[in-house]
Amino acid sequence: MSEAHVQVTLKKSILDPQGSAVEKALRQMGYPVDAVRVGKFMEIRIADGLSRTEQREALEEICRKVLSNPVIEEYTFSLEDQP
């Protein structure tokens, strides 16, 4: 069984008001942070019976077409075998 960990974040050039709000709050509470950016995180269990290459291709397509908005977001994922 394979599990993918997908991270979707706003592109660096796009303002992140949610991240700025978290950053401001943390600083007011005295925490030593310089910048915060907020994104989405997804754990996806891939169906059995696919090769690693097919899994990667399916995930690329899922990330590009469904989970992210490529105009303002970018994604990374890692794929691991689960016991």
Q: Report the interface residues with a second copy, using CB under 8 A.
A: 1, 5, 7-9, 19, 22, 25-26, 29, 31-47, 49-50, 55, 58, 61-62, 66-67
> Toward a second copy, which CB reaches closer, 33 or 72?
33
Closest separation between CB of residue 82 and a second copy, Å?
11
> Toward a second copy, which CB reaches closer, 40 or 70?
40
Query: How far is 21 from 15, CA to CA, in rounded Å?
Result: 12
Q: To which H or E segment does residue 1 belong?
A: none
